[in-house]
Amino acid sequence: MWHWLEFVLLVFSHTFLFVCAYWFFEKHLYRDYEVKSLHIQYIFSVTFTVSMSMLQLLMCELLDFITVGLRRWVWMLDLMLILTLIYLVIPTAIVLSVCSLYDDSGMLALVSSLIAVPLVWYLFYKSGSLFLTLPPFSLTMSHLLARVGVCGVTVVSALAAFGSINFPYRNMTAFLSPVQKKEVQEVEERLLHTLRLIGEKKTMRLMLLRGHQQNHSCDGPMAMVGYEGGRPLP
């Protein structure tokens, strides 16, 4: 009886997660979305549900809340779904969405899917061969997940590096202390006062230079006429 209650609880939690994801995508992501494709909404909802289900099972494992056998069964089901989404459903949906912009017929989408999806598989295969010591032709669930994990960690690292630089650059004002209008006016007044003082100093300097030049010109040839016997004339 207790196992059936746990099973019903897991079904209810998965249904609740799917409904929340469906509502969020429809109310928030579809608001400014030009082309409303229903299959994209379902793929998003299923992906969100499976991902949150794995997080939920991890919490249940830490709290020892659900039976071990039921947790293992749901975990394997989530892994199969997430691998199917990554290796087949999501790449095919991306190709179909791109091809629908150029041609409404299904022939172009079919041919493009047959070409693009194996290329994605080859990318996952080569990434696992370069960075992991895996058997060359192993198709077990753990090895498939490990090959996807290499690409996932690489993409997340690149996005984290970009965000750590781009976010402070675009939001620099959030790290600065707020400045009031009165403080700005006080700084402007001090700046104008400083400029006035500089102008007055320059004016006084020019006047002194002109006076010195005039005195120097008067003390030139006329200085010899103004003296008699070593004494200036009265």
pLDDT given at position 231: 47
190 and 165, same structural domain? no
Mean pLDDT for the stretch of residues 162-178: 76
Computed over every residue of the chain, the mean pLDDT equals 80
Give the end of a domain, one of 175, 202, 229. 175
Decide which of 179 and 208 is more confident.
Answer: 208
- The whole-angstrom separation of Cα 159 and Cα 151 is 12
pLDDT given at position 234: 46
Query: Cβ distance 36 to 17 under 8 Å?
Result: no
Q: Quote the domain boundaries for residue 212.
A: 185-219
Residue 225 lies in a domain: no
201 and 119, same structural domain? no
Residue 162 lies in a domain: yes
22-42 pLDDT, tens digit per residue, is: 888 887 776 655 556 778 888
Give the 3-state secondary structure of residue 232.
strand
Say how many domains are in the chain. 2
86-114 pLDDT, tens digit per residue, is: 888 988 888 888 887 777 767 777 888 88
- The whole-angstrom separation of Cα 143 and Cα 30 is 36
Residue 161 lies in a domain: yes
198 and 141, same structural domain? no
161 and 132, same structural domain? yes
103-109, long-range: CB < 8 A, 24+ apart: none
48 and 93, same structural domain? yes
- The whole-angstrom separation of Cα 191 and Cα 161 is 41
State percent of the chain over pLDDT 90. 9
Residue 226 lies in a domain: no
pLDDT given at position 227: 45
Look at 26-30, 162-166, 194-198, 227-231 and tell me which has the smallest mean pLDDT.
Answer: 227-231
140 and 59, same structural domain? yes
126 and 95, same structural domain? yes
207 and 103, same structural domain? no
Give the end of a domain, one of 123, 152, 175. 175
- The whole-angstrom separation of Cα 227 and Cα 207 is 29
Residue 72 lies in a domain: yes
Which range is most confident: 26-30, 160-164, 169-173?
160-164
133 and 81, same structural domain? yes
195 and 81, same structural domain? no
Residue 98 lies in a domain: yes
Look at 2-11, 67-76, 93-102, 174-183 and tell me which has the smallest mean pLDDT.
Answer: 174-183
150 and 67, same structural domain? yes
- The whole-angstrom separation of Cα 54 and Cα 10 is 12
Report how far apart, in Å, the C-alpha atoms of 83 and of each of 54, 76, 102, 104, 106 are: 13, 11, 29, 29, 25
Mean pLDDT for the stretch of residues 3-13: 84
pLDDT given at position 229: 47
Residue 229 lies in a domain: no
Measured in degrees and rounded to the nearest 5, phi and psi for residue 127 equal -65, -40
Residue 15 pLDDT > 50, yes or no? Answer: yes
211 and 116, same structural domain? no
pLDDT given at position 228: 46
Decide which of 137 and 75 is more confident.
Answer: 75
SS (H, E, C) 25-37: HHHHHCCCCCCCC
Decide which of 44 and 146 is more confident.
Answer: 44
Q: Residue 19 — very low, low, confident or very high, per pLDDT cuts 50/70/90?
A: very high
Strand ranges (E), the chain = 227-228, 231-232
